[in-house]
Amino acid sequence: MGDFDGKVVYITGVARGQGRKHAIRFAREGAKVIGMDLCAPPSEYVGYKPSTEDDLAQTVEKVRAEGGEILAEIGDVRDLAFQEDLVARGVEQFGGRLDVVIANAGICNWGKVWEIDEQQWQDTIDINLTGYWKTLKATIPHMLAADNGGSIVLVSSVAGLKAMPVQSPYSASKYGVVGLAQTAAKELGEHRIRVNTIHPYGVLTPMGADDPAAHDVFTNMPQFLPHFTPILGMGMATTDDISDSVLFLASDASRTITASTFTVDMGAIKV
């Protein structure tokens, strides 16, 4: 028996990294998974390698290895019609319910406020903030129709509570996610649907650990390094570290928690 037996979870950015680990962990606990990922370069301003179709296929294989059921497709969080169609088909396939939503897909890029390109700004906001709103718009009606309550977790960042240098579009989008989540929490409380944000520091994923642009920034602009130094000198978090908190916020163990900013940041926000 798992903590999420009979429940259905929708996860964006599921091909690798945090999204993949969330899918595996939910499947291990008995949930059925609906997932999506772009599996292509999301923006010309992203320096790390994008996810691929093979990555998504590996996620499907790993979820099924846990005994889980999954409907996973290639698509863009910026495409509302795609998300609405995928979620509707997944809900129908898995018994007419949707219990948990994890808005996880996002991008990161670098540059000073006055030096970044207009499209760099727009791409980041479109994916990290407007894409999250489209995820909510595609999923909330199904949660309301099922009338089972539920939990929504929007993945923000340390940069959503503490503005970071050379990350203005990323910080702006992640701050915006907090406002979006807290508004949704106030609107959905009467329906027993909780909405929270989670705020990681660096995570061992391609975006977090393998971005050459980030290495260039810290090499060429060492004056900004103190802003990125956490209290706990333990390196980056693992994807399991983040999934631990996501599954907690999705579970009945957190039934009194909503509109919270849940930090998993090694104390970085307090530096």
Instruction: Tell me the three state secondary structure of residue 193.
Output: strand
DSSP 99-119: -EEEE-------B-TTTS-HH
Catalytic residue, chosen from 10, 45, 132, 170, is: 170
**Please, which residues have CB within 8 angstroms of residue 155's CB and are 6 or more apart in sequence?**
18, 102, 103, 104, 106, 177, 197, 198, 200, 246
8-state DSSP, 128 = I
Whether 152 and 103 have beta carbons less than 8 Å apart is answered as: yes
**Residue 129 is encoded by which pair of tokens?**
């903030």
Is 203 in contact with 214 (CB distance < 8 Å)? no
Per-position DSSP letters for 146-164, written without gaps between them: HT--EEEEEE--GGGTS--
Question: Could you please report the per-residue DSSP string of 177-197?
Answer: HHHHHHHHHHHHGGGTEEEEE
**Residue 201: active-site member:** no
- Which residues, other chains included, contact 207 with Cβ-Cβ below 8 Å and sequence gap of 6+? 17, 48, 106, 107, 108
Strands 150-155 and 193-200: parallel
Task: Just list the catalytic residues.
Answer: 170
